[in-house]
Structure 1
Amino acid sequence: MSTTPPVLAAELAFAWAEIQRHHPELPDLAAPEALIGESSSACGGELSFERLLHEAVHGVAAARGIRDTSRAGRYHNRRFLAVAEELGLEHVEEPHASSGFSLVALTPEAKKRYRPAMERLNRALKAHSAATSAETTRAFRGPAARHGSSGGGVRVKAVCDCGRNVRVVPSVLAQAPIVCGGCGKPFRIPETAAAA
């Protein structure tokens, strides 16, 4: 299996840093490549700058100690919406019955503010998509990847140094380390799983 191209990982890190420049309390993105290929019925499955900004809302909420979702991360509440509006996202419709205010879109002001970062990320995503489309057409992706997930995202196995493992949505692990109670080391997604 292939690994994440360095250019795409670098562009994800650049875009995240650009969001941090405007919102310094946003934590660092631990593993930019963890966002690639992640599918989530609540947050949308396709990676874009808008999706990255959505994940940044969760990061700011976590840094502030705000519980911005419920129902195993599927329902995005009004606290999520308040932070989203601060970061340049808006929700113009009524909240969805199962995902709440998750379907947010960039405001015109945010599009202007982030235009260079958006253009760079879009070029890298198109190149990544073109490079990987041939290798994914014949690969078995499993039912969760084909049909979406009702659990807030596709969970992958994360391991620690003592060999214990947990199933976790990559974006959750990217927000902050999950530490093993046995060895005290953080769980991490093996490179082969992250590249899948």
Structure 2
Amino acid sequence: MTGSGLRGSAVVDLATALRDGRHDALEELFDRWSPLVHSLAWQALRDPHEADEVTQLVFVSAWRSRETLRPSDTALPAWLVGICRHRIADRFADRSRESRRLARMASEEDVLEADRVEVLGTEQFLEALTMEEALGALPEPRQTVVRLAFLEDQTHAEISRRLGLPLGTVKSHVRRGLLQLRDRLAVSHDDAPR
């Protein structure tokens, strides 16, 4: 269960040091068990960024609730796995709330679409709708990167910091996203009635 190379009394000693508030114990705990926690988060969430966030949250939670730990040779890894499961459940709840929020926004946007037609005119509206559909067809995180770059006018460096992606990855997503949009919009334009 431990998977950390520690056995028996060494696990108990580490758990006791953590419970007593020693920062070096937290560092050792992270070094030894973060791969296990990250693996569990990845298996459940299938998203590398969320798995990274959950891993960090697990160890922050472990530090904050260290007084609840009862040191034994099996309690420490089981305790971390329990915290990990709670953080994964929190992330699923967040996803569910976000889905409901997006669904509400989509239904509100449907009501506003009719008003936009009057303001933009039919041709401009159809162009805007085609662009939105093309953007919506991009895979994540490319869709978010392109939206931030062109709709929110953020620099590559700002997007890199905001999303926690390497700068080269952001640039690659922008370039490939633009190519995909160009191809998709060209197909849509070719299919349009003349």
Considering the TM-score relative to the shorter chain, is it more than 0.5? no
What TM-score do you get using the length of structure 1 for normalisation? 0.25
- Highest CA radius of gyration, 1 or 2? 2
- Higher strand fraction (1 or 2): 1
Q: Hey, which of these two has a bigger chunk of helix by percent?
A: 2
TM-score (norm. length: structure 2): 0.26
Relative contact order (C-alpha < 8 Å, sep 6+): which is higher? 1
